[in-house]
Amino acid sequence: MLNYEVFKPEEQPTQAAIEAFMSPEIFALFAALDHDLQETYQIKPKFSYSNCAMNQNIWRGWNIKYQKSGRSFCTIYPQQDYFLALVPGTSFKVRNKENVKEVMLAVALRKEALQAKK
């Protein structure tokens, strides 16, 4: 089940609602990535709703954006049995700890690329 089928556009889901929606194993991965992004990069998550209908609506629904100084580092799209992590230029279907490590590496590379542009 996709998150737009559960969460209405006019009502931002709470952390508890997201936890209830996701499987316990996937929510633990989501929570770990959220924590790592906030602690490592001092980024506060921002909820946003997307109406994107690409790829059978997997990008539609509520997402959590991690941005700093107006630059996107990562956007997470919670789903029931996985979550999507979009780092500009690359997307990841996260189902295990190895996927979380891949996302964190991609975010680190994104940060380096942004710093090099300054």
For 41-88, the pLDDT digits (tens) are: 999 999 999 998 777 878 899 999 999 999 999 999 999 999 999 999
Distance CA 102, CA 32 (A): 13
Q: What residues make up the domain containing 68?
A: 3-117
How many whole angstroms separate alpha carbon 112 and alpha carbon 106? 10
Counted domains in the chain = 1
Q: Which of 47, 79, 42 is nearest to 65 (CA)?
A: 47
Which tokens go with 18? 């997201």
Q: pLDDT digits over 79-110, tens only?
A: 999 999 999 989 999 999 999 999 999 999 99
| 111 pLDDT tier (thresholds 50, 70, 90) | very high
Residue with tokens 């994107």: 52
- Residue 106 has φ and ψ, to the nearest 5°, of -60, -40
